Amino acid sequence: MAGHSKWANIKRKKAKTDVGRATAWNKLIKEITVAAKLGGGNPDGNPRLRVAILKAKGQSLPSKNIESAIAKGVGGTSGANMEEPMYEGYGPSGCAVLVQCLTDNRTRSVADVRNIFNKNGGNMGEQGSVSWSFKKKGIVIVDAAAYPEDKVMDLVLDAGADDMATEDGVHEIESTPENFEAVTKALENANIEMLSAELTYMPETTVKLEGEDAQKMLKMIEKLEDNEDVQDVYHNAELEEQ
């Protein structure tokens, strides 16, 4: 099952500046707070909160920040009026883009997202225009140098994982959303540290971008990710590492 990893080709690798890290952490805190508000503060009984915590740990959000966000959600009114619209559109060369928001002002969010598309060589699409070309998946990343491939593969397959690829020094484990929790719990119970674990949207096919189109796509992604209402950006662009 080990082999070529589609996710590795589309997941953008970028060293975060302090500002970028702070922005990412703020989004994680918002999601944890809302998850705790809606489903309670116990991750064992709140799948959404559990996923949010796993993702936060994968991005090195300190435990004290996680605990504070949970307490804020359980004890306050934060997250009570939040909506979670998903916007769809096209980037350079017709690349498919999904933009997941978490916002208290849908009018502001859609205007901001449309503006970013328009200013960066793309355009907004109707609901359903590109989402059909993505599938929701659980993706878990484990350090291949620390944990043997056979051991990890046997464990995750028994837990319900669909596939595992090993390359670039990591094991990438793929599962359905329904089996994601079982896979992550199996790894935790075996004391295998996860570098990241999240539910994401995987494209059925990718579009390779180079040169000016690649630069425009990167700029669009960065602008979307910097927006306070945008939680995640998914796309089918395959971008060269450089």
Does residue 4 surpass a pLDDT of 90?
Answer: no
CB 208 within 8 A of CB 238: yes
Q: What is the pLDDT of residue 79?
A: 54
Instruction: Please say whether the dihedral angle defined by the alpha carbons of residues 59, 136, 204 and 175, taken in this order, is positive or negative.
Output: positive
Residues 6+ apart with CB under 8 A from 35: 46, 48, 49, 51, 52, 73
* Contact between 233 and 116 (Cβ < 8 Å): no
Inter-axis angle of helices 47-58 and 18-39, to 10 degrees? 170
Q: What's residue 6's pLDDT?
A: 58
Q: How far apart are the first and last CA of the chain?
A: 28
pLDDT of 77 over the 70 cut: no
pTM of the full structure: 0.86
At the second CATH level, the architecture of 86-132+206-239 is: 2-Layer Sandwich (3.30)
- pLDDT (0 to 100) of residue 239: 82
pLDDT tens for each residue of 8-56: 555 654 444 555 778 889 999 999 999 999 889 999 999 999 999 999 9
Q: What is the mean pLDDT of the chain?
A: 89
Identify the pLDDT of residue 5: 56
Q: Where are the domains of the chain?
A: 6-75, 86-132+206-239, 133-203
Dihedral-angle region of residue 168 (phi above 0 means left; psi in -120 to 50 means alpha; beta otherwise):
left
* CATH topology identical between 6-75 and 86-132+206-239: no
pLDDT digits (tens, 9 = 90+) for 79-105: 557 899 999 999 999 999 999 999 999
CATH superfamily assigned to domain 6-75: Integrase, N-terminal zinc-binding domain (1.10.10.200)
**Directed axis angle between helix 18-39 and helix 211-226, to 10°?**
50
| pLDDT for 1 beyond 50 | no
φ, ψ at 205 (rounded to 5°): -135, 160
Q: Running DSSP on this structure, what letter comes out for residue 15?
A: P
**Structure-block tokens of residue 75:** 């004890």
The CATH number of 133-203, from 1.20.1290.10, 3.30.70.980, 3.40.50.1220, 3.20.20.70, is 3.30.70.980
